[in-house]
């Protein structure tokens, strides 16, 4: 499954190739009726099955699909495209309604077996705060003592934030039964072998209610090989407590497997709010989280948003923040957010300082502290990360604020504090001594957060402000809220901030 995912990613960003995602956005009524000619039938079938399972799509029978003259029934295709759009919106993809390569790649990601559109009529929660659980079966893919330890840790992650107690039982009946199963295990939701669906759980209730099943065919692990059991267990236990899926990319309750070993596994702000809305706040919550509050997923409409780094990547502009990035494509109006690790796995750290694309060498360069990473087509070049002294920086420079690459001049400008450095990419040497930013780039504040060249202007970012700099007149020609660069035009509007449910 890992191999497949990587192959799919490669198809998205191979140099010189226009991503197949490049369909212009259309309004609903403009979605073409005739679109079966697009993806191969197998992919169409796979997508239908995915949407049926996770988005409550009800495919019509073959006969209904085709009108008497053999043409595709418009109503059916509209239904299908609407469901594709619903799925694309949930995952932050451009909602084209088309089965793009990127859409199919997301559909193929390993994930939880529960639906993304389950509408709970009323919140179903346990009416007690002490729950018992039991681990049954003998077919553990890994040592039983370790499995027990992982599950105890997973429950603790929830009881740290909500006033719950979880007690393990070895013999008697328990509220929550946890087990591993292969294939069809007689609950109406068979597992599918390696990859695909990893686990599922049942809402709180009697009998099977609250139970959690793991696919025994997966390669479960305690680290980053295969699938991390703790990461999946925390997610499934969330369902066992009554939580639905969240479209918040940083949430544990996000339906796709997102585990990044470089990042500490923790509940996001959204997970914490959701579970506390159901069960209340754990008495230990403040003492446990006052110093390290649960991380909020960045919101492109947050008026206080700032960027870590901004870079071009082929036709796209990438805006980096924490472990996430927004991808702005010239052909789409909507700017989708993804995890940095979704594109470059664990080769690139989060909380970056600076990033630039060197088109001539066909590489992208990442900076954090005194280290830098060079990647070619998603792969880390051998011997990296290396020290930024390679560029000619003295050891007094501990980090780079921003990097600005000019394709035609084969020049990269680095910004550190009040200074800027000119690096000749052809000779691989620093040109002369650093100069003052206020002399070279009048009107640009220091230190800056990020710099990038696109659409004929140099763009600087500092705090929540975006500065557009014209190189010809050597002046800042416009400033504005940084959110405008992410198709968010409603800054300051409280409605667009993360909502509390």
Catalytically annotated residues: 236
Please list every residue from 215 through 254 that binds Ca ion, using CB under 5 A: 215
Calculate ∠ Cα 451-455-459, nearest 5°: 20
Binding mask 188-207 for Ca ion (x = CB under 5 A): ----x---xx----------
192 binds, among Zn ion, Ca ion, none (CB under 5 to 8 A by kind): Ca ion
Nearest approach, Cβ of residue 118 and Zn ion (Å): 9
By a kind-dependent CB cut-off of 5 to 8 A, residue 114 interacts, out of Zn ion, Ca ion, none, with Zn ion
- What are 166's strand-pairing partners? 131
Please say which residue, 198 or 452, places its beta carbon nearer to Ca ion: 198
- Pick from 30, 54, 341: nearest CA to 197: 54
Quote the crossing angle between the two packed helices 229-240 and 144-159, to the nearest 10°: 50
For the four alpha carbons of 202, 205, 207 and 211, in that order, the dihedral sign comes to: positive
Cα 224 to the center of its chain, rounded Å: 17
Q: How far is the CB of 245 from Zn ion (least distance, A)?
A: 5
* DSSP alpha helix (H) spans, 123-245: 144-159, 229-240
Smaller CB distance to Ca ion: residue 192 or 470?
Answer: 192
Of these partners, Zn ion, Ca ion, none, which one is at the site of residue 211 (CB under 5 to 8 Å by kind)?
none
Residues 163-192 that bind Ca ion (CB under 5 A): 192
Helix or strand or coil: residue 339?
A: strand
Q: Which is nearer to Zn ion, 99 or 233 (CB)?
A: 233
CB of 114 or CB of 135, closer to Zn ion: 114
Would you report the helix, strand and coil content of the chain in percent, each value rounded to 5?
A: 25, 25, 50
Is residue 15 packed enough to be buried (19+ CB in 10 Å), middle (13-18) or exposed (0-12)?
A: exposed
Q: What is the C-alpha R_g of the chain?
A: 25
Compute φ and ψ for 135, nearest 5 degrees: -105, 115
**Contact residues for 195 (Cβ-Cβ < 8 A; gap 6+):** 1, 4, 110, 218
* Shortest distance in whole angstroms from residue 35 CB to Ca ion: 30
Nearest CB to Zn ion, comparing residues 212 and 260:
212
Give alpha helix (H) positions in 253-409: 269-279, 285-289, 340-344
Q: Do residues 212 and 176 lie in contact, with contact meaning Cβ atoms separated by under 8 Å?
A: yes
User: Which entry of Zn ion, Ca ion, none binds 316, CB below 5 to 8 A by partner kind?
Assistant: none
Neighbours of 243 (CB within 10 A): 24
CB of 192 to Ca ion, least distance (A): 5
Kindly list the residues in this chain that would bind Zn ion in the complex (CB under 5 A). Answer: 112, 114
Nearer to Ca ion, 215 or 353 (CB): 215
Residue 304 binds which entry of Zn ion, Ca ion, none, with Cβ cut-offs from 5 to 8 Å by kind? none
Output the smallest distance, CB 199 to Ca ion, in A: 8
Nearest-approach distance from CB 436 to Zn ion, in angstroms: 53
- What does 197 interact with, of Zn ion, Ca ion, none (CB < 5 to 8 A by kind)? Ca ion
Q: Shortest gap between Cβ of 44 and Zn ion (angstroms)?
A: 25
CA dist 501 and 499 (Å) reads 6
Helix axes 41-55, 74-90, angle to 10 degrees: 70
Q: Which does 112 bind (CB under 5 to 8 A by kind): Ca ion, Zn ion, none?
A: Zn ion
DSSP count for the chain of H helices, then E strands = 11, 26
Whose Cβ is closer to Zn ion: residue 199's or residue 488's? Answer: 199
Instruction: List residues binding Ca ion (CB under 5 A).
Output: 192, 196-197, 215
């Amino acid at each position: 499954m890992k191999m497949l995912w990587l192959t799919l990613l490669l198809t998205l960003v191979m140099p010189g190739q226009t991503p197949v995602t490049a369909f212009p956005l259309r309004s609903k009524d403009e979605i073409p009726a005739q679109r079966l000619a697009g993806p191969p039938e197998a992919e169409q079938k796979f997508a239908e099955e995915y949407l049926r399972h996770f988005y409550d799509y009800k495919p019509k029978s073959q006969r209904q699909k085709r009108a008497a003259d053999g043409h595709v029934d418009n109503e059916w295709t509209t239904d299908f495209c609407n469901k594709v759009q619903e799925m694309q919106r949930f995952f932050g993809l451009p909602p084209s309604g088309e089965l793009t390569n990127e859409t199919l790649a997301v559909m193929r990601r390993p994930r939880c077996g529960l639906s993304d559109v389950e509408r709970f009529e009323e919140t179903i929660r346990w009416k007690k705060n002490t729950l018992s659980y039991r681990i049954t079966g003998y077919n553990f893919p890994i040592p039983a003592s370790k499995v027990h330890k992982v599950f105890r840790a997973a429950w603790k992650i929830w009881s740290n934030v909500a006033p719950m107690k979880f007690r393990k039982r070895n013999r008697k009946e328990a509220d929550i039964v946890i087990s591993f199963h292969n294939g069809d295990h007689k609950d109406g939701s068979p597992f599918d072998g390696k990859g695909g669906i990893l686990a599922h759980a049942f809402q709180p209730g009697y009998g099977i209610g609250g139970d959690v099943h793991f696919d025994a065919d997966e390669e479960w692990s305690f680290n980053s090989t295969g699938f991390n059991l703790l990461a999946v267990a925390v997610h499934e236990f969330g369902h066992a407590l009554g939580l639905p899926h969240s479209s918040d990319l940083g949430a544990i309750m996000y339906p796709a497997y997102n585990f990044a070993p470089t990042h500490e596994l923790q509940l996001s702000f959204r997970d914490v709010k959701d579970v506390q809305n159901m069960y209340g706040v754990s008495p230990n919550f403040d003492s446990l989280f006052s110093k390290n509050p649960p991380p909020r997923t960045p919101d492109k409409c947050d008026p206080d948003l700032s960027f870590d780094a901004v870079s071009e990547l082929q036709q796209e502009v990438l805006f980096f923040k924490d472990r996430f990035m927004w991808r702005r494509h010239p052909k789409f109006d909507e700017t989708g957010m993804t995890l940095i690790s979704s594109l470059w796995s664990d080769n690139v750290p989060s909380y970056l300082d600076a990033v630039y694309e060197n088109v001539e060498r066909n590489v992208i360069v990442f900076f954090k502290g005194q280290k830098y990473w060079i990647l070619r087509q998603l792969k880390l070049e051998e011997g990296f990360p290396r020290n930024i002294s390679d560029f000619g920086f003295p050891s007094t420079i501990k980090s780079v604020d921003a990097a600005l690459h000019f394709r035609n001049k084969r020049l990269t400008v680095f910004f550190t504090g009040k200074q800027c450095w000119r690096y000749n990419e052809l000779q691989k040497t620093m040109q002369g001594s650093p100069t003052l930013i206020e002399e070279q780039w009048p009107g640009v504040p220091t230190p800056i957060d990020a710099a990038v060249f696109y659409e004929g202007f140099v763009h600087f970012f500092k705090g929540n402000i975006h500065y557009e700099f014209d190189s010809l007149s050597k002046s800042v020609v416009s400033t504005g809220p940084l959110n405008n660069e992410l198709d968010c035009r409603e800054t300051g509007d409280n409605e667009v901030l993360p909502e509390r449910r």
